[in-house]
Amino acid sequence: MKVGYAAAALGVAWIRYAWWPHVSGPRTVRRAPSTARRVALTFDDGPDPHWTPTILKILDKHRVRASFFLIGERAERAPDVVRAIAADGHEVANHSWSHPSLWLCGPRRTAVEIERTHELLGSLTGVTPRHFRPPWGMMNAAMPGALDRHRLRCVLWSVQPEGLRAVGADAQARFVVRRIHPGAIVDLHDGEGTRGAPERLARALPEMIAGLEDEGYALTTVAGLLGD
């Protein structure tokens, strides 16, 4: 019987800490509340010393600005790539220090994951980051307070093409063009990770950009899309 009570108490504690922020997070953005044909491309899990510069070249060629959600420990190893992202006019944003699931992080670790990356990116670019994306979109109850301390907004996505349904580069580009909507935030990966396949993305990106522009969409950063 005691084991049953303990399991129930643990379950309630887990719901309060890890699950409840997903339904009550007031500052979380998944898309812009806009009817204009403007959308943001976002790139997670970089900087990657090879693939991020490749993606930057493609974006530059198409005159597109985007948002890069960077992992702090990768940024520390590739500071020149971080500076190149900012120098090209893209938004540099926070994707935690070591890419843990926040479901498994306590309040102290959560604060450190956010703060350490926030300070590094600010010092490398001279621009204070405005946006944070939790790894895999997993939040906890300590995250909103840690974000408020740095005036960061939590940004998720409304279009995610890198699942099982879009396996090839062509399919990935078509998936995004088919699912796009005004105010969309598109989640892509320029760094290797559980969802990341940057080589495929580099092949998909020119067709994706052309397809979106053919549909009359302007591409901008998350900051540009949200007007902040």
Q: Residues with Cβ < 8 Å from 189, sequence gap 6 or more?
A: 43, 44, 45, 162, 195, 196, 197, 198, 201
Residue 189 known to be catalytic:
yes
Nearer to Zn ion, 18 or 162 (CB): 162
d(CA 192, CA 27): 28
Residue 61 vs 77, nearer CB to Zn ion: 77
* Closest CB 96 distance from Zn ion, rounded Å: 8
Cβ closest to Zn ion, residue 45 vs residue 48? 45
Could you say which of 95, 99, 118, 189 is catalytic? 189
Nearest to Zn ion of 177, 189 (CB atom): 189
- At 51, list the tokens: 């693939």
**Catalytic site residue 44?**
yes
In this structure, are residues 161 and 181 in contact, taking their beta carbons and an 8 Å threshold?
no
Query: CA dihedral in degrees (96, 101, 106, 110; nearest 10)?
Result: 10
Q: How far is the CB of 44 from Zn ion (least distance, A)?
A: 4
Q: Site residues (CB under 5 A) for Zn ion?
A: 44-45, 135
C-beta of 136: minimal distance to Zn ion in Å?
7
Cβ(42)–Cβ(176) under 8 Å?
Answer: no
Structure-block tokens of residue 193: 């990770």
Residue 104: count of CB within 10 angstroms of its CB: 10
Least distance between Zn ion and beta carbon 193 (Å):
5
- The set of catalytic residues is 44, 189
